[in-house]
Amino acid sequence: MTKRTALYDFHVKNNGKMVPFAGYMLPIQFKGIKNEVHSVRNDVGIFDVSHMGEIIVKGKRRKEFVDSITTNSVASLKQNQVQYTMMLYENGGIVDDLLVYNFDDRLLLVVNASNIEKDYEWILKNKWDDIEIENISDDTAQIALQGPHAQRTLEKLTDYNLDDIPFYYTVETNVCGIRVILSRTGYTGEDGFEIYFPNNAADKIYPEIMQAGLEFNIESIGLGARDILRLEMRYMLYGNDITKDTTPLEAGLGWAVKIDKSDFIGRQALIEQKEQGIKRRLCAFEMLEKGIPRHDYEIYREHEKVGFVTSGSSSPSVKKFIGLGYVKVPYNKIGNELFIKIRDKMIKALVIKPPFYKNGSHR
Amino acid sequence: MNIPKELKYRKTHEWVKIDGDTAIQGITDFAQSELSDIAFIELPQIEDKVKAGESCGTIEAVKAVSDLYAALSGEIVETNDKLGSNPEMINESPYTDGWFFKIKISDASEIDNLMNAEEYEKFLAEEH
C-alpha cells in the first residue's frame, strides 16, 4: 500500500509529478530538477519530507540505551543538540543512518522512510526493560526549508530568535502558531531548517512558508533535486551508498563512530575490520569524459574490475557528471584515474576530494 | 501537451517532419516532459544507416538513460550539432530547436505506419 503524506493534494495542485518512493507517493519534481537544485543553492526551497520516520525513546537510561545501539556518542550530546549516527548489525553492516535529537525529557530518532518498520523492530528487539519506545512516524509531518534565504523566510513566521539555534541544534517552539520541533539541520549543504509537527498542521504551515518565501523566490523541491543536492555534498543515501553489506569505515563515516565510548552493537566487527585493514572505500569521482555514472555500474582500472557505482548524476551546481562508488584499496586514492563501464563503453573518471560542491551556506 | 498537427508520430514518442524523400526527427513534448532535464544525447553520425524502431543513440536525462529510436529507416544526412552544448533545447523546444537529425528515407512505405497528431493524442490518452 502506498501512503500519502498530509501534503499530497497540495503537491498535486502545484503540478508536482508524483511517484512512489519508500512506500509514499511523493513529488519527484515540480518545475524541473536542475532549476530546483539552483533554487536551493541560490535562494530557498521547501521540501515535504514527511515520509521520514520519527521514533521517540523515553526512560531514565535512554542515552545509555541509544548509545548501546548506535555508533556515535549520545552521552556527549549537549541539551538540544542533534547528532548524525548509525545503527549497526553485529557484523558491522549498517541497519540505518539517523539523527538523534537530545531533548531534556526524551530522545527523538529520525530514520529513513524505507527503514521505519525494520528500525522499529530492531530497536524493540534490543530494547531494555526500563526503556519506552514510540513510533510516531504516521502522525508526524516534516518539512525541510533549505537555502541561503531559509532563515530570512522562517523568521517571519516565528518569535524565536533563529540566531540562537546553532548548526545541528534543535528547539521546541511555535512556527505559524503551531507547536513544532525545529532544528538547524538538512541534507543539502545549505543553511536551513527541518520542522516536525502533527499531520493536521501541514496544510497550514506549508502554504504559509511558501507565502513568506515569495520575496526570496522560494520554490517547492522534489525528490529528484533532493537526491542531487545530497550527492553534491557526498551525503549518504541508505540503500545506495550504505547498506547492510557496507560498514561505516568503508563508507568514510568513521567520524560518526566513537569506538572507545562504550560497547555498542557492531563495535567488535569494526575493531576487527580496522585491524585487518579496510579493503575497499567509498570514493567520490567526477567524469573526465561524457557519461553519467549510475547505481550498480561497474568500475575498472585497466581491465580489472575494482568496484561499483553507488550513486551518480549530472551535477547542476558544479556542471560535471559526478558519482560515488566502492573501490578496492589502493585504487580509491584521490587523483587516481578509473573507468566507469557505461553501456559497454569504458568512460574515464577521476577520484576527487569530496564534497563536489564546496560553496554551501551551511554553518 | 503540445502535439503539432503537421507532424507524424511513433508510439515510442518520436516525431518526424516529412519533406519529400527526407525527414527530420525529434522527440515529442510528452517524451521530453517524461524524461525531464536532459543532460546530453548521443546522436548517430552522418552517413550512418538506421532502421525504423531500432536504437540509434541514447538520451541521458538526469533521472535515467533511454534509447533513441529511429522513426524511419534510411541514412543520416544531417545532425543537430547545437544539442551537444545545449541539450536543454530538447526540453525547451522539442519540435523546433530541439530536433535531432535529418534522414534520407529508404522505405517510404514506413510512413504509413506512423500516427497523425489526432491518433497520437488518442494514444497518449489511452496509454498514460
For cell 527541518, the residue is A194
pLDDT at A98: 98
* Helical spans, DSSP H, in chain A: 8-13, 33-42, 62-69, 116-126, 150-154, 202-213, 223-232, 267-276
As a whole number, mean pLDDT of residues B18-30 equals: 96
Model confidence over A112-149: pLDDT tens digits? 999 999 999 999 999 999 999 999 999 999 999 999 99
**Checking phi first, is residue A319 left (phi over 0); if not, alpha (psi -120 to 50) or beta?**
left
Phi and psi at A184, nearest 5°, equal -90, 85
Q: Do domains A3-51+138-232 and A279-352 have the same CATH topology?
A: no
Among candidates A34, A290, A291 on the partner chain, residue whose Cβ is nearest the Cβ of B62: A34
What torsion do the CA atoms of A57, A58, A60, A63 make, to the nearest 10 degrees? Answer: 20
Model confidence over B70-109: pLDDT tens digits? 999 999 999 999 999 999 999 999 999 999 999 999 999 9
Question: A363 pLDDT band (50/70/90 cuts)?
Answer: low
pLDDT at A100: 98
Prediction ipTM score: 0.84
Among candidates B40, B62, B88 on the partner chain, residue whose Cβ is nearest the Cβ of A313: B62
Model confidence over A53-68: pLDDT tens digits? 999 999 999 999 999 9
Pair type for strands A53-58 and A345-352: unpaired
Architecture, CATH, for domain A3-51+138-232? 2-Layer Sandwich (3.30)
DSSP state of A78: P
β-bridge partners, A135 = A55
User: CA-CA distance, A308 to B27, in Å (whole number)?
Assistant: 32
Domain architecture of chain B: domains with CATH: 8-127 (2.40.50.100)
Query: Quick one: closest CA in A to B39, which residue?
Result: A314
Q: Is the pLDDT of residue B127 over 90?
A: no
pLDDT at A128: 98
Query: Quick one: closest CA in B to A36, which residue?
Result: B37
Q: Is the pLDDT of residue A214 over 80?
A: yes
Question: A9 pLDDT band (50/70/90 cuts)?
Answer: very high
- CB contacts of A315 in chain B (<8 Å) are none
Q: Is the pLDDT of residue A1 over 80?
A: no
CATH superfamily name and code, A279-352: Aminomethyltransferase beta-barrel domains (2.40.30.110)
- CB contacts of A34 in chain B (<8 Å) are 37, 62, 88
